[in-house]
Copies of this chain bind each other. A is one copy, B any other.
Amino acid sequence: MKNKVDTIINTKWILLIKPKNKVIENSSIVINNSIILDIDDTDIIHRKYESKELYNLNTHCIMPGLINNHTHLSMSLFKGIADDLNLDAWLKNKIWPLETKHVDNEFVELGSKLAIIELIKSGSTCFNDMYFFPEVTAYASLELGIRASLGLITIDFPSNYAQNSEEYLEKGLNTRDKLKNETLVSFTMAPHAPYTVGNETLKKIFTLSNELDLPIHMHIHETENEIIESIENYNQRPIERLLDLGLINPNFIGIHAVHLNSDDISILSKNKANLVSCPISNFKLGSGIPNAALQNSEKISLSFGTDGSASNNKLDILSEARVGSLLAKGISKDATKFNSNDALECLTINAAKSLGMENKIGTIEKNKVADIIAIDFNKIISQPIFNPVSHIVHAIDRENITHSWVNGKCIMKDRNVLTIDENLINQKVQRFVKKF
On chain B, the residues within 8 Å of A171 by CB distance are none
Within 8 A of B (CB), among A324-340: 326-327, 329-337, 339-340
A114 at the interface (CB under 8 A from B): yes
Q: How far is the CB of A50 from chain B (nearest CB, A)?
A: 32
On chain B, the residues within 8 Å of A395 by CB distance are 79-80, 313-314
A425 at the interface (CB under 8 A from B): yes
A312-327 interface code vs B (CB 8 A; 1 in, 0 out):
1110100100010011
A240 at the interface (CB under 8 A from B): no
Task: For the A-B complex with A280-B326, A378-B426, A383-B430 known, give 7 more contacts whose Cβ atoms are closer than 8 Å.
Answer: A77-B384, A80-B386, A282-B330, A285-B329, A287-B333, A314-B381, A384-B429
Q: How far is the CB of A13 from chain B (nearest CB, A)?
A: 14
Q: Quick one: given A330-B283, A380-B117, A430-B383, are A335 and B77 in contact (CB under 8 Å)? A: no
A179 at the interface (CB under 8 A from B): no
A-B CB contact pairs (8 Å), 22 listed:
A79-B384, A79-B395, A80-B385, A80-B387, A81-B387, A87-B335, A114-B383, A122-B381, A224-B333, A283-B330, A284-B326, A284-B394, A286-B329, A286-B332, A289-B330, A313-B394, A314-B395, A314-B397, A380-B426, A384-B430, A386-B433, A397-B398
- 8 A-B pairs closest in CB distance: A286-B335, A283-B330, A283-B326, A384-B433, A313-B395, A83-B390, A313-B394, A399-B399
On chain B, the residues within 8 Å of A337 by CB distance are 286
Interface size on A, residues (CB 8 A): 69
How far does the alpha carbon of A330 sit from the alpha carbon of B436 in the complex, in Å?
28
